[in-house]
Chains A and B, each alone.
With several copies, the nearest count.
Chain A
Amino acid sequence: MTRARADAAGAEPATPTARGGRTEPFVVELANFTGPFDLLLSLIAKHRLDVTEVALSQVTDEFVAHIRRLGDRFDLGQATEFLVIAATLLDLKAARLLPGALSDDESEDLALLEARDLLFARLLQYRAYKEASALFAGLMALEARHVPRAVPLEPRYAAALPEVQIGIGPTELAALAAKLREPPLPPLVATDHVHLPRISVREHMLAIILLLRELGAADFRTLCAGCQQTIEVVARFLALLELFREGRISFDQEIPLGELTVRWIAVDPAADGDLLSIGRGLYDEDPADEPREAAS
């Protein structure tokens, strides 16, 4: 450990204990900041450094280089932590840099400010627990120096114990032993908390267009005929709204609360052949594919 690094780490009191010195700390070198990643975070959190002035791509490049340099000593925990924090910073920076979608009135600014503060709060909260975990480790290490007395019962008291009730027979004992002999299941990384877009709204838009071009007009019930799950019906509904917005369909309703008829309205033939462009950038498409136009 070089002297410079030790000093840098010392500037952030909680960090060295948190990682117990197991891992080589990740040091960032930017135009306006040089030091441990944690310190950078701390400064952003304390508003001594503007997140919009931090080149996150450079930080990421450096972290990748840092991981490569570690080679076999690669620490999954450190990488995960970096991902979480970098993603939050990215969110934060995006929120700071992007202009409001509709207007620049005060309520919009306020909402943005709240979103920003929420991200801050999340970041700070996580860091607080991380520092608390370092305190926990310290307390446990301290407590480990006291060994509790836990010794077999003196024979005279053991002899006085009432006869033990085992409570199970040989068969149940065998079942227990067999259960314990089974290899424990390998740890699984649960993914159910990750939101998977199982339904593509764009796909449903295409399905509706194909149906309407065949039928000319149809009610919502007909348009949803093939749907198996509620989420698909929702997707069909969203697709209808989107198609209406694009001016490709019209809605007819004879009486209030009556049947809604969806009609395909004529568009220029060029757009017809360009079905694939429908709904681009909506909900489920890769935005990088075709950047969304700023609504102006």
Chain B
Amino acid sequence: MSEQPDAGVGGEAAVASPGADRPPLAALLEAVLMVAERPVGVAELATGLGAPAREIERLLPELAEGYVRDGRGFRLRHVGAGWRFYTADECAPWVEGFVLAGQSARLSQAALETLAVVAYQQPVSRGRIAAVRGVSADGVIRTLTARRLVEEIGHDPETGAILYGTTDYFLERMGLRGLDELPPLAPLLPGLDDLDDIVAP
């Protein structure tokens, strides 16, 4: 907060100091929850936004009631561990129709590749999948999770990153009894005997 304003960089600098231009807490809550991938608890919100938990606990139900009162298509709900945006119940039939129309029953090549990486490298983080495939895996992981082929199976003890693995449903769909029935990878990699050719032409 005592940092001098970075005059040189236009618009891209993170002005993380809670200064005078801090948006109202209600707006910050809306912003964070709009992009949160899972329900977020009050304690986490309080820490992340640097705001008192009591204040947040008061604001969230207020926001939620406001959406109902205004007849919005979305709702803010307290579910399990925290708060999350959902679609309004009365809109569900239309949303469902929309979701079904946009979803292909077949997996894309990107989804298949990611599934392969998860199957053989599990437990694996998004970061590792992205490193193997060369592109961000976020969207594909979401698809595979929605399709119940992949699920969160823990956290990296060091980085805290979510680790993914395949589901029983995946095994069922692949006709396997267990992960040990996945074909071994080694024979598909270039043999070590080929290495000599490469080293000594």
Contact = CB atoms under 8 A, between A and B. Distances in A.
Check if A and B associate: yes
A132 B58 CA distance: 33
Interface string B174-201: 1110000111110011110010011001
B176 A154 contact: no
Contact of A164 (B11, B86, B173): B173
B116 A129 contact: yes
A261 interface: no
B188 A131 contact: yes
Nearest to A78: B109
B117 A129 contact: yes
B189 A147 contact: no
B174 A153 contact: no
A144 B12 contact: yes
Interface stretch (B20-28, B48-56, B138-146): B138-146
B19 interface: no
Contacts of A141: 11-12
B183 A140 contact: no
Given A128-B188, A180-B133, A158 B146 contact: yes
Name, among B183, B184, B201, the residue most crowded by chain A CB atoms within 10 Å (CB to CB). B183
Contact of A130 (B10, B113, B201): B113
B136 A193 contact: yes
- The range of chain A's interface size is 35 or more
B139 A187 contact: yes
A30 interface: no
A164 B111 CA distance: 12
B11 A126 contact: no
Given A143-B175, A180-B133, A163 B112 contact: no
Contacts of B59: none
B189 A128 contact: yes
Contacts of A166: 107, 112, 115, 149, 173-174
B10 A138 contact: yes
A152 B100 CA distance: 15
A153 B35 contact: yes
Interface in A174-232: 174-182, 184, 187-191, 193
A132 B198 contact: no
B132 interface: yes
B136 A176 contact: no
A250 interface: no
B3 interface: no
Interface in B1-35: 8-12, 31, 34-35
Given A77-B108, A133-B116, A162-B105, A177 B198 contact: no
Contact of A143 (B102, B108, B147, B173): B173
Given A164-B107, A180-B113, A180-B117, 13 more contacts: A19-B109, A127-B188, A128-B185, A136-B115, A148-B85, A149-B35, A152-B38, A166-B115, A166-B173, A173-B116, A174-B182, A187-B142, A190-B138
7 contacts: A42-B190, A47-B197, A147-B86, A148-B85, A170-B175, A174-B182, A190-B139
Interface of B: 8-12, 31, 34-38, 74-75, 77, 79, 84-89, 92, 95-96, 99-100, 102-110, 112-113, 115-117, 119-121, 127, 130, 132-136, 138-139, 142, 145-149, 172-176, 181-185, 188-191, 194, 197-198, 201
